[in-house]
């Protein structure tokens, strides 16, 4: 909806955000130039790359917090009702018809069972890694017209347990294959449980894509267990929030909490709660906060965030 307007921002706050956005962009550009972000698989300290990554993350954290607070404190478009249209009829999807034991039982009658969700809120990031602080399960991959690389589809791993609606789409960029263009759709309504595995993503979908096209099928590549500690972190990402005209149906209770919550949860574990700011403003954010080994750098980040808060005395947390 158009009801959530950037004008809501106080000008000073706006300025802070602008500055951060700018800084983040510069850092991103810098990194792209310096780049070899994915190269250091072993390095605990990846020097310049990681440094930039940290900078970016700090910016990102700040923005994330600010924008979260923004929506928490200000008027949010809280249009609960509009259902995400989130796949309404999963229940009876599995048609019981026991059937053919053929390899692919060609047609399960799915007619009427599948509702395409209206994209309510999405934001995109450009990162050298597809990993983030949430656990995702891949549910599809698709070649996209005129795109060199296929697009992979992930949903929150807690979709089943908690009905979390978050999904993301990841696509390697053509002009910069080191970077991935990730679109996050919907926000997490799940709770991140600390003892859960931090990062559960897939094998490199593109590699597998290439393999399958050349080798045939399943020569599998390392799974999340191994990817878990890929230190492709310290990496940067640029986020563009796309507030859809479609207001934000995903802002239900859980979201409501999330903006505040993210502060609390972030103390325990990384959370990539989206910036909840409703504006057309381009926001830069980072969601790349990584697993346990990164705790120390995380706390640095938080320090930075706290400092940032000093700038903007409008923000308090108790």
Partner DNA sequence: GCAATTTGACCGCG
Partner DNA sequence: CGCGGTCAAATTGC
Binding site for DNA (CB under 7 A): 87, 90, 93-94, 101-117, 137-142, 144-146, 151, 153, 155, 157, 167, 169, 200-203, 205, 208-209, 212, 217-221, 223-225
Which residue's CB is nearer to DNA, number 48 or number 144? 144
Evaluate whether 273 touches 257 at the Cβ level (below 8 Å).
Answer: no
| Helix residue spans in the chain (DSSP H) | 11-34, 47-73, 159-162, 205-214, 224-227, 253-268, 295-311
Which residue's CB is nearer to DNA, number 98 or number 296? 98
Question: Cβ of residue 56: shortest distance to DNA, in angstroms?
Answer: 26
Question: Cβ of residue 285: shortest distance to DNA, in angstroms?
Answer: 21
Question: Cβ of residue 13: shortest distance to DNA, in angstroms?
Answer: 33
Angle between helices 253-268 and 47-73 (to 10 degrees): 140
Cα distances (angstroms) measured from residue 208 to each of 97, 128, 137: 33, 18, 16
Cα 273 to Cα 253: distance, rounded to the nearest angstrom? 14
Which residue's CB is nearer to DNA, number 39 or number 140? 140
Cα 129 to Cα 127: distance, rounded to the nearest angstrom? 5
Question: Cβ of residue 27: shortest distance to DNA, in angstroms?
Answer: 29
Cα 231 to Cα 91: distance, rounded to the nearest angstrom? 39
Question: Cβ of residue 97: shortest distance to DNA, in angstroms?
Answer: 9
Sheet holding 238-243: strands in order across?
136-142, 151-156, 167-172, 180-185, 121-127, 238-243
Which residue's CB is nearer to DNA, number 41 or number 90? 90
Which residue's CB is nearer to DNA, number 18 or number 229? 229
Evaluate whether 288 touches 84 at the Cβ level (below 8 Å).
Answer: no
Cβ within 8 Å of residue 138, ≥6 positions away:
152, 153, 154, 201, 202, 205
Question: Cβ of residue 61: shortest distance to DNA, in angstroms?
Answer: 26
30 burial (CB, 10 Å; 0-12 / 13-18 / 19+) is middle
Question: Cβ of residue 152: shortest distance to DNA, in angstroms?
Answer: 7
């Amino acid at each position: 909806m158009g009801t959530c307007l950037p004008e809501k921002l106080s000008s000073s706050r706006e300025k802070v955000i602008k500055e951060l956005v700018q800084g983040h962009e510069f850092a991103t550009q810098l990194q792209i130039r310096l780049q070899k972000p994915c190269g250091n698989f072993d390095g605990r300290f990846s020097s310049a790359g990681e440094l930039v990554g940290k900078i970016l993350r700090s910016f990102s954290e700040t923005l994330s917090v600010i924008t979260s607070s923004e929506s928490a404190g200000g008027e949010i478009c809280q249009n609960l009702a509009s259902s995400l249209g989130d796949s309404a009829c999963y229940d009876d999807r599995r048609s019981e018809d026991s059937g053919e034991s053929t390899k692919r039982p060609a047609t399960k009658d799915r007619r009427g069972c599948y509702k395409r969700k209206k994209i309510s809120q999405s934001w995109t990031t450009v990162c050298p890694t597809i990993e983030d602080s949430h656990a995702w399960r891949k549910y599809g991959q698709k070649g996209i017209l005129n795109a060199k690389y296929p697009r992979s589809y992930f949903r929150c791993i807690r979709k089943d347990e908690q009905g979390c609606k978050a999904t993301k789409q990841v696509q390697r960029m053509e002009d910069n294959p080191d970077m991935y263009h990730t679109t996050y759709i919907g926000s997490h309504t799940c709770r991140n449980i600390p003892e859960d595995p931090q990062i559960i993503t897939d094998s490199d979908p593109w590699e597998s894509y290439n393999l399958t096209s050349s080798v045939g099928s399943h020569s599998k590549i390392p799974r999340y267990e191994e990817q878990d500690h890929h230190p492709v972190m310290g990496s940067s990402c640029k986020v563009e929030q796309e507030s859809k005209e479609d207001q934000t149906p995903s802002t239900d209770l859980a979201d409501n909490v999330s903006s505040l919550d993210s502060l609390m949860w972030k103390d325990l574990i990384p959370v990539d709660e989206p910036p909840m700011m409703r504006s057309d403003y381009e926001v830069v954010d980072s969601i790349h906060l990584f697993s346990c080994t990164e705790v120390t750098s995380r706390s640095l980040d938080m320090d930075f965030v706290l400092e940032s808060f000093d700038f903007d005395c409008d923000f308090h947390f108790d």
